[in-house]
Amino acid sequence: MEWLVFVAAFLVVIVLVAVLAIKSLVIICPPNEVAVISGRTRGLNDGRTVGYRVIKGGRTIRIPILESVEYMSLNTIPIDVSVNNAYSKGAIPLDVQGVANIKVSSREGVLENSVERFLGADPAYIQQIAKENLEANLRGVLSTLTPEEVNEDRLKFAQTLIDEADDDIRTLGLELDVLKIQNVTDQVGYLEAVGRRRTAQVLTEARESEASQAADAEEAEAEARRRSELARVHAELEIAEEQNRLRVRNAELDALAVASEKEAIVAGEKAKVTAEQSLESERIELQRRRLEADIIAPAEAEKQAAELRAEGEAASILADGHANVAVLQALTQQYQSAGPDAQNIFLLNILPELVERITATVEGIDVDKITVIDNGSGAGGGGAIPNVASQMPAAVISITEQIEAATGVNILSALDKTKSDPVIEATESQDL
């Protein structure tokens, strides 16, 4: 059991030794410090050799016994900068108070200067060195500027001082962050006299400016009144012109409206007439189609039917004509063969037709009865009926005379001749 305690204690000691050894070997540098490890010679980029190396915000391993570590702070160091009886341009002594902030530079090429000059130094020493250099630079800058320039444009004065002191501060390995001029005075009352003169000048300029501004104000007021009056006149003129234009435009619009109205009326009438013409055309077309359907088409059909009937009748008439021609040719041949008696034969042939035509003239007369009234005149009286009977032969003779007057043929003689003419008898018998 004691043996285990001994082993545990030994292991704890070993761990503590190892931790202490590692802690002594590993160097950790915070960002606001610079670790300078010295003890071994190293070469720089510019060919120089130094016996240290610098670590900024990181870690490294050092060799115990052979290398030692020291730290430099990068924190800002405030400095009160003041000079008394520093002669400015023109031999005017001035008192200047200002404030500056410096720190150890961490830039490459400048950090080595700070290491060589301020490693292990107290910050008050660094502050004193920087203050003396800044005050010397301040006196040098004041000698190039007049009191007015120093007092009136302090920003320019501070920037000139920064530009003058920056090279010297960098040479020391420091860096100037801020430099501000707080107060500029003198012990001879120069600035006060300049101020009074400037004040009087300002007051004079103010009175002159006030008078000038009053005159300018009056002139501006008069000019404003003139411009106002001119503007009013121009405005009234423009209003009158615009009113005239408005009246002209209204007249033009009224004329355009009347013309448009008339054009609309004419267009309406034209459209109405066009519509009526179109409607009338439709009516005419409808009437034409109706006439074609009711009259022309039936007429055409009737015409075609009439033409067909006429063609049929013409064919029939033509056929009858050919037949009659054939009959007439046959009769002509018979009449020619009859010789001198052909005329009598012809007349006898047409005698029934002539008698029929003559008797047809009285076909419309319907004799229901004949009443004979004997008027008893005469010697013996009662002679009316014998008179009527005696009129019949006279009527027959009158008819034959009419036929003879129309044809030149005496039917009674022809009939009498036919009784004794065998040729005629033969012809009649042939016709029968």
Question: Residue 135 domain-assigned?
Answer: yes
Q: What's the pLDDT at 431?
A: 43
Last residue of a domain, one of 24, 40, 70: 70
Nearest-angstrom CA–CA distance, 3 and 70? 44
Is residue 340's pLDDT more than 50?
A: yes
Same domain flag for 127 and 47: no
Question: Residue 240 domain-assigned?
Answer: no
Is residue 389's pLDDT more than 60?
A: no
Question: Residue 228 domain-assigned?
Answer: no
Is residue 430's pLDDT more than 50?
A: no
- Mean pLDDT of the region 393-399: 62
Nearest-angstrom CA–CA distance, 182 and 171? 26
Question: Residue 266 domain-assigned?
Answer: no
Nearest-angstrom CA–CA distance, 323 and 329? 10
Same domain flag for 105 and 36: no
Pairing mode of beta strands 59-61, 93-104: unpaired
Question: Residue 297 domain-assigned?
Answer: no
pLDDT band per the 50, 70, 90 thresholds, residue 69:
confident
Of 12, 63, 330, the residue nearest 4 (C-alpha): 12
| CATH assignment at residue 182 | 3.30.479.30
**Is there a contact between 60 and 49 (Cβ–Cβ < 8 Å)?**
no
Same domain flag for 121 and 169: yes
pLDDT band per the 50, 70, 90 thresholds, residue 60:
confident
Same domain flag for 169 and 113: yes
Give the least confident one: 62-76, 348-362, 382-396. Answer: 382-396
Question: Residue 264 domain-assigned?
Answer: no
* 36/193: higher pLDDT: 36
Same domain flag for 11 and 100: no
* 43/200: higher pLDDT: 200
Same domain flag for 80 and 178: yes
Of 68, 100, 94, the residue nearest 81 (C-alpha): 100
Give buried/exposed letters for 34-43 (b at 16+ CB in 10 A, else e).
bbbbbeeeee
Same domain flag for 80 and 63: no
Residue by residue, what is the 3-state secondary structure of the chain?
CHHHHHHHHHHHHHHHHHHHHHHHHEEECCCCEEEEEEEEEEECCCCCEEEEEEEECCEEECCCCCCEEEEEECCCEEEEEEEEEEECCCCCEEEEEEEEEEEECCCCCCHHHHHHHHCCCCHHHHHHHHHHHHHHHHHHHHCCCCHHHHHHCHHHHHHHHHHHHHHHHHHCCEEEEEEEEEEEECCCCHHHHHHHHHHHHHHHHHHHHHHHHHHHHHHHHHHHHHHHHHHHHHHHHHHHHHHHHHHHHHHHHHHHHHHHHHHHHHHHHHHHHHHHHHHHHHHHHHHHHHHHHHHHHHHHHHHHHHHHHHHHHHHHHHHHHHHHHHHHHHHHHHHHHHHHHHHHHHHHHHHHHHHHHHHHCCCCCCCCCCCCCCCCCCCCCCCHHHHHHHHHHHHHHHHHHHHHHHHCCCHHHHHHHHHHCHHHHHHHHHHC
Q: Which amino acid is at 210?
A: E
Q: List Cβ neighbours of 147 (8 Å cut-off, separation of 6 or more).
A: 88, 90, 92, 94, 184, 186, 190, 191, 194
Q: If you average pLDDT over every residue of the chain, what do you get?
A: 75
Last residue of a domain, one of 163, 188, 213: 188
Same domain flag for 66 and 50: yes
Last residue of a domain, one of 26, 41, 70: 70
What pTM value is reported for the model? 0.42
Question: Residue 55 domain-assigned?
Answer: yes
Is residue 209's pLDDT more than 70?
A: yes
Same domain flag for 83 and 184: yes
Same domain flag for 107 and 59: no
Question: Residue 170 domain-assigned?
Answer: yes
Is residue 421's pLDDT more than 60?
A: no
Q: What's the pLDDT at 375?
A: 56
Count of structural domains within the chain: 2
Share of the chain above pLDDT 90, in %: 0
* 289/128: higher pLDDT: 128
* 377/66: higher pLDDT: 66
**Residue-wise pLDDT tens digits, 240-285:** 888 888 888 888 888 888 888 888 888 878 888 888 888 888 888 8
Is residue 423's pLDDT more than 50?
A: no
Is residue 211's pLDDT more than 60?
A: yes
* 256/10: higher pLDDT: 256
Same domain flag for 26 and 114: no
Range of the domain at 170: 75-188
Same domain flag for 57 and 80: no
Q: How far, CA to CA in Å, does 209 sit from each of 195, 213, 223, 320, 329?
A: 20, 6, 19, 149, 159
